[in-house]
């Protein structure tokens, strides 16, 4: 069972194993596919509740930060202006770091492990880069409101939520997309990366028509309402920071993938989302990407086909599509063979080492992800991070993983020491040679790995060898 749990969760730990054994594997899987509200450990909940992103809405934060930006720009003295502008940038960095910390805390401690994995998967699929403009301010709301609630729901709802979020609109320049001044960036990625896939049967003309449909979909970060023509005022939308501005929309009819979409405003966008989310090419493209993430770098065609059929039959039900995959012989045969990308490696190592002992500082984990080239919200291009072994198994990467294993295994990683003027520190030494190891993990290790472990001269070295073993690089 530990192999299956390693795949469904962010990495097996004693408490996860106990939970699955108490329920039985099938009931545990059912709960993971259809989770209730996550009950996080009290200390985790307290850390998240103390964050600025938990205490203020994205609209409130935007108002405060926009004012700070304007005030900084208005300063006459060059040195003072530079200091104020740096302070504004540092605050954006701090908010993005809070988002990343919250994401890691949930990955480590949420009982809804599959939901957390799928939140990361969809954040990667619908990638936005925090370095652009003020996306560092928007990314926490994007993850919390657009991605997490729909991570195991209907694909159409998820697609719509990302399309209507200012983080996506700003990242892919759709706020610059207007009638007679078309910007195709978002339309192209929406079709190529989010839905149909590069060979999904659409043409350059379809991209242009999709861009016309998306004219007027934008962002309004201020309180000013544009002066909309009287006959179009009923079509103006301003919800949160999202805006549909009829003045910028192309009201001509469009031809999208062989069908006419009548020019009539926001309803065109809904019609296009319906069409893209329910297209057979989307079912195949999304199913294959899920299978690459959960099963194999080159997933069997029969498995992808079965998943795509479920996707189409259930109107894009993500949990049902995953259920088809988890129940397949191909999934069972692949267990223990899927190489961990950096996020999987770091989170699974900390879960295994400390289980439900709550870390005080996610900073070391964020630094490790930076070093290994997979920082949260850090992928500059819209394709998201690659999910295959070839992208992450270089000698340099493996050296870094050994260093991380050593830091965790020796108890010197800094995870239990807070930053700041009055740092707190809690003693925490990882107990890896525990019941989980002897009852379950040991059976999965090769004779060569066991021999190396037998030669360890201290508990620290034993921990390091286990955490850096070939078996722990896979899930």
- Give the position of tokens 């009852």: 439
Contact 136, 88 (CB under 8 A): no
pLDDT at 86: 96
Residue of 268, 245, 124 whose CA lies nearest to 175: 245
- Considering only CA atoms, which of 4, 3, 120, 11 is closest in space to residue 340? 11
Residue range 270-299, pLDDT digits in tens: 999 999 999 999 999 999 999 999 999 999
**Percentage helix, strand, coil for the chain under 3-state DSSP, each rounded to 5:** 60, 5, 35
Q: Which two tokens stand for residue 329?
A: 């012989």
Where do the DSSP E strands lie in 245-386?
A: 254-256, 259-261
Block residue for tokens 């807070």: 418
Element holding 343 (H helix, E strand): helix 342-354
Spans of the chain below 70 pLDDT: none
CA distance 209 to 269: 11
Tell me, what's the pLDDT at 431?
Answer: 85
- Orientation angle between helical segments 342-354 and 395-409, nearest 10 degrees: 20
Angle between the 14-23 and 25-33 helix axes, to the nearest 10 degrees? 110
pLDDT (0 to 100) of residue 224: 87
- Report yes or no: 95 and 61 within 8 Å, Cβ to Cβ: yes
d(CA 117, CA 360): 22
Q: Which residues contact 327 (CB under 8 A, 6 or more apart)?
A: none
Exposed (0-12), middle (13-18) or buried (19+): which is 81, by Cβ within 10 Å? middle
End-to-end CA distance of the chain: 12
Rounded CA gap, 416 and 359, in Å? Answer: 5
Q: What's residue 419's pLDDT?
A: 84
Task: Give the dihedral sign, CA 341/301/187/249.
Answer: negative
Closest CA to 246 of 255, 258, 254, 237: 237
Would you state the pLDDT for residue 423?
Answer: 83
Report how far residue 150's alpha carbon sits from residue 166's, in angstroms, rounded to the nearest whole number: 17
């Amino acid at each position: 069972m530990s192999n299956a749990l390693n795949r469904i969760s962010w990495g097996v730990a004693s408490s996860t194993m106990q939970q699955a054994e108490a329920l039985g594997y099938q009931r545990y899987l059912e709960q993971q596919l259809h989770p209730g509200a996550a009950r996080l450990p009290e200390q985790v909940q307290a850390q998240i509740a103390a964050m600025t992103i938990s205490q203020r809405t994205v609209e409130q934060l935007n108002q405060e930060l926009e004012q700070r930006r304007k005030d900084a720009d208005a300063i006459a003295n060059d040195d003072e202006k530079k200091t104020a502008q740096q302070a504004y940038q540092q605050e954006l960095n701090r908010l993005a770091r809070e988002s990343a910390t919250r994401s890691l805390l949930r990955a480590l401690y949420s009982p809804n492990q599959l939901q957390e994995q799928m939140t990361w998967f969809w954040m990667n699929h619908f990638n936005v880069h925090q370095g652009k403009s003020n996306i560092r301010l928007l990314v926490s709301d994007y993850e919390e409101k657009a991605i997490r609630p729909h991570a195991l729901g209907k694909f159409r709802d998820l697609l719509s939520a990302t399309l209507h979020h200012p983080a996506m609109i700003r990242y892919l320049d759709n706020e610059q997309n207007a009638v007679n001044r078309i910007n195709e960036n978002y339309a192209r990625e929406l079709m190529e990366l989010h839905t149909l896939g590069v060979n999904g049967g659409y043409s350059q003309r379809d991209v242009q028509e999709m861009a016309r449909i998306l004219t007027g979909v934008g962002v309004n970060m201020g309180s000013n309402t544009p002066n909309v023509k009287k006959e179009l005022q009923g079509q103006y939308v301003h919800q949160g920071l999202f805006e549909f501005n009829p003045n910028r929309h192309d009201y001509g009819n469009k031809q999208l993938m062989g069908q006419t979409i009548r020019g009539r405003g926001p309803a065109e966008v809904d019609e296009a989302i319906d069409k893209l989310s329910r297209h057979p090419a989307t079912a195949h493209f999304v199913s294959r990407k899920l299978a690459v993430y959960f099963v194999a770098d080159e997933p069997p065609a029969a498995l992808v086909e079965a998943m795509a059929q479920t996707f189409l039959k259930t109107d894009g039900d993500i949990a049902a599509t995953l259920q088809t995959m988890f129940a397949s012989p191909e999934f069972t045969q692949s267990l223990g063979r899927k190489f961990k990308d950096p996020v999987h490696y770091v989170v699974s190592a900390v879960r295994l080492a400390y289980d439900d002992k709550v870390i005080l500082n996610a900073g070391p984990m964020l630094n490790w992800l930076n070093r290994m080239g997979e920082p949260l919200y850090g992928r500059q291009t819209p394709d998201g991070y690659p999910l295959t072994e070839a992208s992450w198994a270089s000698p340099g990467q493996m050296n870094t993983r050994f260093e991380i294993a050593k830091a965790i295994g020796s108890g010197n990683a800094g995870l239990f020491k807070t930053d700041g003027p009055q740092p707190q520190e809690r003693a925490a030494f990882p107990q890896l040679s525990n019941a989980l190891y002897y009852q379950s993990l040991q059976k999965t290790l090769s004779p060569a790995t066991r021999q190396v472990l037998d030669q360890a001269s201290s508990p620290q070295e034993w921990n390091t060898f286990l955490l850096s073993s070939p078996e722990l690089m896979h899930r």
